[in-house]
Amino acid sequence: MSRYRGPRLRVIRRLGDLPGLTRKSAKRSYPPGQHGQGRRKRSEYAIRLEEKQKLRFNYGITERQLLNYVRRARREPGSTGLVLLQLLEMRLDNVVFRFGMAPTIPAARQLVSHGHITVNGRTTNVASYHCRPGDVIAARDRDRSREMVKVNLQSPGLAHRPPHLEWEDEQKYVGKVTGVVDREWVALQVNELLVVEYYSRKA
């Protein structure tokens, strides 16, 4: 399945608040469609599916990408659910978003893919690049790139920057990854254990 490019508020109404997908809020609190206001009992599978979809739409990844992340998280020591969230949070597009350089993750992905972001001094246009502690993330040293980041920083997508991201030179838009994100600083409200259960037979 390809990356979702449809109406975002429709997704927000169905899955709840997704801070990485859009800054808009839906006027209606019930899911879309003719059965949206019904009180149908959801199955356990439907609940797990919904939690999985939250990750997919919030981080803007495909089904295959998420499955690969789950498989990778299973190979790492520690809680699979926590490792999965850390892998997603340490993607370059998400790190750019959490710094406030872009209002949403799709906007951050566009900044990266258009060559406006550097990692350790080198232009990197791969949004899925896995950031590691010590990596220096910066706006490219040219007027257009810095102006775009400057405008976005005036109204960042999230009010709080997680403590594992620090500015080295905020005037030149140079930041550094100092560690791995803690669970409490993951902005998305999701039960990652249900996602792991959903993929228990696939991963």
**pLDDT for 1 beyond 60:** no
Q: Containing H/E element for 4? A: none
Q: Name the amino acid, one letter, at 132.
A: R
Cα 159 from Cα 164, distance rounded (Å): 15
Q: Name the amino acid, one letter, at 64.
A: R
Cα 62 from Cα 67, distance rounded (Å): 9
Q: What are phi and psi of 43, to 5 degrees?
A: -75, 165
Q: Out of 19-23, 113-117, 162-166, 189-193, which region has the weakest mean confidence (pLDDT)?
A: 19-23
Q: Name the amino acid, one letter, at 124.
A: T
DSSP at 192: H
Token digits of residue 124: 């990197």
Cα 134 from Cα 179, distance rounded (Å): 8
Domains and CATH numbers, the chain: 8-87+187-198 (1.10.1050.10), 91-179 (3.10.290.10)
**Of 75, 130, 127, residue with least CA distance to 106:** 127
Sort strands 122-123 and 117-119 into parallel, antiparallel or unpaired. Answer: antiparallel
Confidence of residue 52 (pLDDT cuts 50, 70, 90): very high
Cα 74 from Cα 113, distance rounded (Å): 29
Mean of pLDDT values over 166-188 = 93
> 80-89 and 92-99 are packed helices; what angle lies between their axes, rounded to 10 degrees?
70
Residue 121 exposed, middle or buried by CB count within 10 Å (0-12, 13-18, 19+): exposed
pLDDT, tens digit (0-9, with 9 covering 90-100), for 107-155: 999 999 999 999 999 999 999 999 999 999 999 988 889 999 999 888 8
C-alpha distances out from residue 71 to 64, 139, 155, 184, 196, Å: 11, 32, 36, 23, 10
pLDDT, tens digit (0-9, with 9 covering 90-100), for 64-96: 999 999 999 999 998 999 999 999 999 999 999
Q: What are phi and psi of 104, to 5 degrees?
A: -145, 170
Q: What are 165's strand-pairing partners? A: 177
Confirm if 84 and 73 have CB atoms less than 8 A apart: yes
pTM for the predicted model, two decimal places: 0.86
